[in-house]
Amino acid sequence: MKLKLKIMTEGKLVHRKDYRYFVPITTRWMDNDIYGHVNNVTYYSYFDTAANEYLIKEGRLDINNAPVVGFVVHSNCSYLSPIAYPDKIEAGLCVKKIGNSSVTYGVGIFKKGEDQVCAYGELVHVFVDRNENKSVSIPAAIRGALEKLLIN
């Protein structure tokens, strides 16, 4: 992830204006791998930290007791330029698609104050009855919150 990739970015969510909600994240010593940059794996921990923080704060999700919770069924990430501890970063969050029981988030990782992402990707939550293990309609409070981040 050390190199700056020249990629086609039309239609991609690579700019700050593409995101609707921002979460500051502090990098950690152990985020850096042997090559001196944040490991590819760790970006996904930024993704679900951002999405769940939004669900908790704006969708009133109670991760300890809620009967319906979001399980991740798909995720992806493209890495454009490196970040490294102790960089200050932010995760940008938006919603690309809301279905009956699932939501597709767009997530971008920015160095603090920069306009272009260092990495971006998607996270898909399916909402599930915690006891029955079956997908269910997105609860109203959460759906309302998600609609506020919808970009199309």
Rounded to the nearest whole angstrom, what is the least distance from the CB of residue 143 to its own copies in the complex?
A: 19
Shortest CB 85 distance to its own copies, Å: 7
Let me know: does 79 contact 40? Beta carbons within 8 Å: yes
Beta bridge mates, 68: 129
The least distance separating its own copies from the CB of residue 151, rounded to whole angstroms, comes to: 21
Q: How far apart are CA 13 and CA 31, in angstroms?
A: 24
CB-facing half-sphere around the CA of 3: CA atoms within 13 A? 3
* By the rule CB under 8 A, 134 interacts with its own copies: yes
Q: Kindly tell me which of 86 and 144 has the beta carbon lying closer to its own copies.
A: 86
Asked if 35 touches its own copies (CB under 8 A), the answer is yes
Residue 107 near residue 93, CB atoms below 8 Å: yes
Q: Is 103 in the site for its own copies (CB under 8 A)?
A: no
Identify which of residues 95 and 119 has a Cβ nearer to its own copies in the complex. Answer: 119
26: its two tokens: 């502090």
Q: Return phi, psi of residue 128, to 5°.
A: -135, 140
Per CB under 8 A, the segment of 12-20, 63-71, 106-114, 140-148 that binds its own copies is 63-71
Q: List 103's β-bridge partners, or say none.
A: 98, 125
Site for its own copies, rule CB under 8 A: 1-3, 5, 23-30, 32-36, 39-42, 44-49, 52-53, 56-57, 63-64, 69, 71-79, 85-86, 121, 123, 126, 128, 130, 133-135
